[in-house]
Amino acid sequence: MSQFLQFLFSGLTEGAVYALVALGFTIIYNASDVVNFAQGEFVMLGGMVTFFANAAGLPLPLAALAAMLVTIAVGLALNKLAIGPARGASVVTLIIITIGASIFLKGVTQLVFDKRFHRFQAFSGDTPIRVLDATILPQSLWVLGGAGMIFLGLWLFFNRSITGKAMSAMAANRLAAELVGIHANRMMALAFGLSAAIGAIAGILITPITPTSVEVGTLLALKGFAAAMLGGMGSPAGAVTGGLIVGIVEKMSAGYLSTNYKDAVAFIIILATLFVLPTGLFGKAKVERV
Amino acid sequence: MIIRRGLLAATVTLACSAFGATAQAQDKIKIGAVLAVTGPASFLGDPNAKTLKIQVEDINKKGGVLGKPIELVLYDTGSDPTKAKQFAERLIQEDKVIAQVGGTTTAETMAMIPVFEEAKVPFISLGGAVVIIDPVKPFTFKTPHTDKMACEKIFEDLKKRGLTKIGMISGQDAFGKSMQGQCKGVAGKYGIEIVADETYGAADNDMTAQLTKIKTTAGVQAVVNPGFSQGPALVTRNYKQLGMTVPLYQSHGVASKQFIELAGDAAEGVRLPASALLVAEKLPDSDPQKSVVVAYKKFYEETTKSPVSTFGGHAFDGMNILIEAIKRANSTDPVKIRDELEKTKGFMGTAGVVNMSPTDHMGLDLTAFRMLEIKKGDWALLP
pLDDT of residue A126: 78
- For residue B206, give the chain A residue with the closest CA: A210
Asked if the model's pLDDT at residue A289 lies above 80, the reply is no
pLDDT of residue B45: 92
- Same domain as B139, residue B64: yes
Contacts of A172 (CB under 8 A, 6+ apart): none
Residue B127 lies in a domain: yes
Asked if the model's pLDDT at residue A288 lies above 60, the reply is no
| 8 Å CB contact between A242 and A231 | yes
Residue B5 lies in a domain: no
Distance from CA of B293 to the nearest CA of A (A): 27
Closest CA to B229 of B67, B104, B142: B104
- Same domain as B268, residue B141: no
Residue contacts between A and B (CB atoms, under 8 Å): 75
Cα–chain center distance at B38: 15
pLDDT of residue B21: 47
DSSP state of A115: S
pLDDT of residue A76: 93
Buried (b) or exposed (e) across B98-129, using 16+ Cβ within 10 A?
A: bbbbbbbbbbbbbbbbebbeebebbbbbbbbb
Q: What percent of chain A has pLDDT over 90?
A: 34
Read off the CATH number of the domain in which B198 is found: 3.40.50.2300
Domain ranges of chain A: 17-221
- For residue A127, give the chain B residue with the closest CA: B241
**CA–CA separation, B371 vs B157, rounded Å?**
8
| 8 Å CB contact between B151 and B183 | yes
Q: What is the mean pLDDT of residues A101-118?
A: 88
Query: Pick from A2, A210, A260: which is nearest to B205 by CB?
Result: A210
**CA–CA separation, A204 vs A202, rounded Å?**
6
- Same domain as B356, residue B264: no
Give pLDDT tens digits for A222-247. Answer: 999 999 999 988 888 889 999 999 99
CB contact (8 A) between residue B241 and residue A128: yes
CB contact (8 A) between residue A3 and residue B206: no
- Same domain as B266, residue B299: no
CB atoms under 10 Å from CB of B245, counted, come to: 10
- For residue B216, give the chain A residue with the closest CA: A3
State whether residue A138 is helix, strand or coil: helix
pLDDT of residue B12: 57
- Same domain as B153, residue B128: no
Give pLDDT tens digits for A28-58. Answer: 888 877 889 999 999 999 999 999 999 888 8
> At A219, is the pLDDT very low, low, confident or very high (cuts 50, 70, 90)?
confident
B265 interaction partners in chain A (CB closer than 8 Å): 126
- Same domain as B158, residue B48: no
DSSP state of A89: B
CB atoms under 10 Å from CB of A263, counted, come to: 16
Residue B68 lies in a domain: yes
- Same domain as B207, residue B74: no
pLDDT of residue A123: 85
Contacts of A170 (CB under 8 A, 6+ apart): A30, A31, A32, A177, A182, A184, A187
Q: What is the 3-state secondary structure (H, E, C) of chain B?
A: CHHHHHHHHHHHHHHHHHHHHHHHHCCCEEEEEEECCCCCCHHHHHHHHHHHHHHHHHHHHCCCECCECEEEEEEECCCCHHHHHHHHHHHHHHHCCCEEEECCCHHHHHHHHHHHHHHCCCEEECCCCHHHCCCCCCCEEECCCCHHHHHHHHHHHHHHCCCCEEEEEEECCHHHHHHHHHHHHHHHHHCCEEEEEEEECCCCCCCHHHHHHHHCCCCCCEEEECCCCHHHHHHHHHHHHCCCCCCEEECHHHCCHHHHHHHHHHHCCCEEEEEHHHHHHHCCCCCCCHHHHHHHHHHHHHHHCCCCCHHHHHHHHHHHHHHHHHHHHCCCCHHHHHHHHCCCCCEECCCCEECCECCECCCCCHHHEEEEEEECCEEEECC
- For residue B38, give the chain A residue with the closest CA: A115
φ, ψ dihedrals at B289, nearest 5°: -85, -15
CB contact (8 A) between residue A254 and residue B201: no
| More reliable by pLDDT, B10 or A257 | A257
- Same domain as B276, residue B157: yes
Contacts of B219 (CB under 8 A, 6+ apart): B165, B195
Q: What percent of chain A has pLDDT over 70?
A: 97
- Same domain as B321, residue B270: no
Residue B347 lies in a domain: yes
Query: Pick from B201, B233, B243: which is nearest to A135 by CB?
Result: B243
| More reliable by pLDDT, A173 or B101 | B101
Averaged pLDDT, groups of 10, chain B, 383 residues long: 59 52 64 90 90 94 91 93 94 93 93 94 93 92 92 93 94 91 93 92 82 90 91 92 91 89 89 90 87 92 89 94 92 92 91 91 86 92 85
pLDDT of residue B23: 43
Domain of residue B75 covers 25-145+293-364
Distance from CA of B245 to the nearest CA of A (A): 13
Q: CA dihedral in degrees (A29, A35, A38, A39; nearest 10)?
A: 50
- Same domain as B375, residue B352: no
- Same domain as B66, residue B29: yes
B242 interaction partners in chain A (CB closer than 8 Å): 6, 128, 135
CB contact (8 A) between residue B42 and residue A211: no
Which of A14, A119, A131 is the mutation pick for testing B, counting most B CBs within 10 A?
Answer: A119
What's the domain count of chain B?
2
List residues in chain B touching A: CB distance below 8 A: 38-39, 42-43, 78, 172, 198-201, 203-206, 208-210, 212-213, 216, 230, 233-234, 240-243, 258, 262, 264-266
Is the sign of the CA dihedral A141, A144, A147, A153 positive or negative?
Answer: negative
**CA–CA separation, A237 vs A228, rounded Å?**
10
- Same domain as B244, residue B98: no
